[in-house]
Structure 1
Amino acid sequence: MAEKKNFMLRIESDVYKALEKWSADEFRSVNGQIEYLLHKALKQEKRLEDKKKKTDVNKSIE
């Protein structure tokens, strides 16, 4: 598992309440929901390499 970094995040209370409800609807913690959304956005913008694709490329090289 990848190393995780801790950092403080300040957001408006109404945004936090919306995240809290959304995360509960999807059976995640607020932290888990934020991580999920960040990963999704990073992949969509092609700013995060897909680990699965990287593994597939490495297998095809061997």
Structure 2
Amino acid sequence: MNAKELREKSSEELQQTLLGLLKDQFHLRMQKSTGQLSQTHLLGQVRRDVARVKTVLNDKAGEK
């Protein structure tokens, strides 16, 4: 997911995307803590995606 795709979405869609990413992040953290996570790079990817979505949401809020 890149910023260009995110800017095309509405604020409501971005909120839903953010909620889904935060749930994914929680599940990945739980898997890591129990030793079940083999693809540790996913934690960083999800964290960066959360930051991208929050940045676009803040940009949209600043435009209004």
TM-score bracket for this pair, using the shorter chain length: 0.3 to 0.5
Ranked by relative contact order (alpha carbons within 8 Å, sequence separation 6 or more), the top structure is 2
TM-score by length of structure 2 reads 0.32
The higher radius of gyration belongs to: 1
User: Larger % of helix: which?
Assistant: 2
TM-score by length of structure 1 reads 0.32
